[in-house]
Amino acid sequence: MFSRTIISRAVRQTAARSSAFAAVRPTPLSTPAPATSFLLSLASQRRLLSDAVRQAIDKAVASAPVVLFMKGTPETPQCGFSRASIQVLGLQGVDPNKFAAFNVLEDQELRQGIKEYSDWPTIPQLYIDKEFVGGCDIIVSMHQNGELAKLLEEKGVLLKEEGGQAEGETKE
Amino acid sequence: MASPTPMEDAIREKITAALQPTRLEIYNDSHLHAHHAPMQGVTSKETHFRLIITSEAFGSKMQPARHRLVYSLLKHEMAQEGGIHALQLRTMTPEEEATRRAQEAGSE
């Protein structure tokens, strides 16, 4: 069945690729990038989206061409919807150099702020070229109908080598 | 007497009133997620929902706008303590639903 094939392949490919994600660009929050440490320093302040938080999120959104706000890290997602989203990006062959993930669980300001910033009440959230694309359902449906592949291709954020993502089996 | 499914009732009521859907399917997937860490201490059996909505109201709206529309209708239910934690959405216009059915029929 189609959905099952996608899932099992996603698991394998993500396993194969996760090391690349980790090696080339560690999750910004595990080794704080400027935007992130800024957010951390703001922790325990007001809940409203202040200018400072907005600016910090602006920076986070602009930190890479493809940015995912998620629960957990690409290597160890803490939520099934975040996992599915990161698997889709791996399957699509997004270049780790052009990708950044932010773990909202490590930062309450970010966790609340991003919802208001995007006018979107749930996590994960995907941004491409600083534009909000959608949450997990949208990512998965765009993956299935080909729109995501087209968008990523247009934005030039896919890995160049080996003819792309859908090349069947990964070798053991 | 109180409904055993107040959240599902609220979803059905609000979406029906605002969107007049030609198709509205509400699936309560909460039991699949009950063991997840964020659900500890939550007693509600109505935390994770999956909705399929077909409505003319989605016409000329891109997917993010459609989802925002549904989120805004359920704002209260999503914001309240122990309320809706996750909401999966599939949103279609009647035309899109017809196209999808035709494709599915053709691919068999």
CA distance A122 to chain B (A): 7
Please indicate whether, in this complex, the C-beta atoms of A138 and B63 are within 8 angstroms of each other: yes
Q: Report the alpha-carbon distance of residue A153 to residue A112 in Å, rounded.
A: 31
pLDDT reported for residue A24: 36
Instruction: Tell me the pLDDT of chain A averaged across its residues.
Output: 78
- Cβ neighbours of B75 in A, within 8 Å: 121
Please indicate whether, in this complex, the C-beta atoms of B67 and A141 are within 8 angstroms of each other: no
CB atoms within 10 A of CB A35: 21
Please indicate whether, in this complex, the C-beta atoms of B88 and A137 are within 8 angstroms of each other: yes
CA distance B95 to chain A (A): 16
Alpha-carbon Rg for chain B, nearest whole angstrom, is 15
- Cβ neighbours of B89 in A, within 8 Å: 137
B14: Cβ–Cβ under 8 A, 6 or more apart, which residues? B73, B74
The yes/no answer on whether domain A51-155 falls in CATH 3.40.30.10 is yes
CA distance A79 to chain B (A): 8
Q: Are the C-beta atoms of residues B87 and B66 closer than 8 Å to each other?
A: no
Per-range mean pLDDT, top range of A27-31, B31-35, B68-72, B104-108: B68-72
ipTM of the complex: 0.88
Over residues A54-71, mean pLDDT: 97
A96: Cβ–Cβ under 8 A, 6 or more apart, which residues? A17, A20, A21, A23, A24, A25
* Tokens 């160890």 sit on residue: A76
Bridge partner list, A70: A103
Nearest to A33 by CA among A108, A130, A100: A100
CA distance B54 to chain A (A): 16
Of B36, B64, B75, nearest to A134 by CB-CB distance is: B64
- Cβ neighbours of A134 in B, within 8 Å: 63-64, 67
Of A80, A132, A137, nearest to B89 by CB-CB distance is: A137
- Determine contact: B39 vs chain A, CB below 8 A: no
- pLDDT for residue A125 is more than 70: yes
- Cβ neighbours of B86 in A, within 8 Å: 81, 122
Instruction: Tell me the pLDDT of chain B averaged across its residues.
Output: 94
pLDDT reported for residue A13: 40
The full length of chain B comes to 108
pLDDT reported for residue A75: 96
Q: Which chain B residue is nearest to residue A134, measuring alpha carbons?
A: B64
- Cβ neighbours of A136 in B, within 8 Å: 88
Q: Are the C-beta atoms of residues A87 and A11 closer than 8 Å to each other?
A: yes
- pLDDT for residue A20 is more than 80: no
DSSP state at residue B91? E
The tokens describing A157, both together, are 């954020």
pLDDT reported for residue B41: 87
Q: Provide, rounded to the nearest whole percent, the portion of chain B with pLDDT above 90.
A: 77
**Residue A13 — φ and ψ, nearest 5°?**
-70, -35
Domain boundaries, chain A: 51-155
